[in-house]
Chains A and B, each alone.
Chain A
């Protein structure tokens, strides 16, 4: 177990060093989130009010727009995470180093989650500025964001590992990831709405479901990594 964790941390540190050097997060992922926010702002009339003029329609649907942005960014971040391994056959080298495949997925999941969390901070701040979003229950929102981020990162890494060896992975990946993440997207939107505005009676239930998704996808990645990344 110690070796599994230590190797996962080594791989995560390496991926963070690659991101620090390439600056892809700062130059491409975060701008992608900002562009999405602006597109939503242009596409939906910000003057349109709902709930008797209590807030704009943009603020009302902001949780859904926020998680759609994060979900689309997940495709970029996770895809890149495996692209750096397949560019020069490094995935084989990781396996020849005796690294347990579970460590590879765990390390990559951690770095994908960190990048998504950075994006969420930027997109969250942008939503407050552009859409007039306010937060009723910050602690609840933090739990929702953490569990959704882990669930998305775990599932995205796991599913893109499935297609990593295929030549059509760039198009197959989104086809696999987007429908699979529908339950997480629905839960995250409902739970975020509850944390932001106290709307909906089932916010707590969705929050627990998101925590369960996070644990499930995280564990599934480690357990199934051998079958996904190795010739068994």
Chain B
């Protein structure tokens, strides 16, 4: 894979292969159990898709697969043009996606700023992007020098989101992004998703928040038993 396709200075993302993700009969096995049992899925640039389904349905596994962290045992899977059956392609892909998981991926003994700068530095992000990401989530004041172990759950979540924003990924994979956030934080996440898709990125959100998500995601994907199906758009269900 080439090193092309990096975000431009104005925050927009360059054109990416369409569809952004294309899975055909993709099977992903975890601990001998098919967590994804033949997924067919197309995701397009600028799209927001809501993954919904019961616990254990395969939502997190699908997000990890799209992030290049899983192995496709059968079928085919391409994300941003990377063939997920190839190790080198998965490594290339990982630099271009942003994954927000249940874990916050933060180091308790480092300060908020040290955490954000470490992850941004690894991703070769612009230092200016780090400052603006911290400001966006209200982390540029007193919280900047606070060790992460001293943060509340919501503040940790905001720090994780700031890491993601500083990276400017082409594909955002968000697992319960509103969890643990107050009303202001939830509104920040909503604006973040809107801004990301406005800049041309694609956003997939796994969430149990049936009250909040319909207004945010025009496309709904039902996940059950390791299989993904398009559901009627939120407005069309009633």
- A interface residues, Cβ below 8 angstroms from B: 7, 10, 14, 17-18, 21-22, 84, 87-90, 92-100, 226, 230-232
Contact = CB atoms under 8 A, between A and B. Distances in A.
B133 to A, nearest CB: 15
Given A14-B110, A18-B109, A97-B94, A88 B122 contact: no
Contacts of B70: 231
B42 interface: no
Question: Ordered nearest first, which 4 A-B pairs have the shortest CB separation?
Answer: A89-B103, A98-B95, A93-B105, A21-B109
A96 B106 contact: no
22 contacts: A7-B122, A14-B110, A18-B109, A22-B109, A88-B104, A89-B101, A89-B103, A89-B105, A90-B103, A90-B107, A92-B64, A92-B69, A93-B119, A95-B94, A96-B67, A96-B99, A97-B95, A97-B123, A98-B91, A98-B122, A226-B87, A231-B70
Nearest to B148: A88
Contacts, number: 78
B94 A98 contact: yes
Interface residues of B, number: 33
Interface of B: 64, 67-71, 87, 90-92, 94-99, 101-110, 114, 118-119, 121-123, 147
A10 B123 CA distance: 11
A94 B163 CA distance: 12
Contacts of A90: 103, 105-107
Given A231-B71, A232-B87, A98 B107 contact: no
A88 B114 contact: no
Given A92-B69, A231-B71, A18 B110 contact: yes
Given A84-B109, A95-B69, A98-B123, 15 more contacts: A14-B107, A17-B114, A18-B110, A88-B105, A89-B102, A89-B103, A90-B103, A92-B99, A93-B99, A93-B105, A97-B94, A97-B95, A98-B96, A226-B87, A232-B87
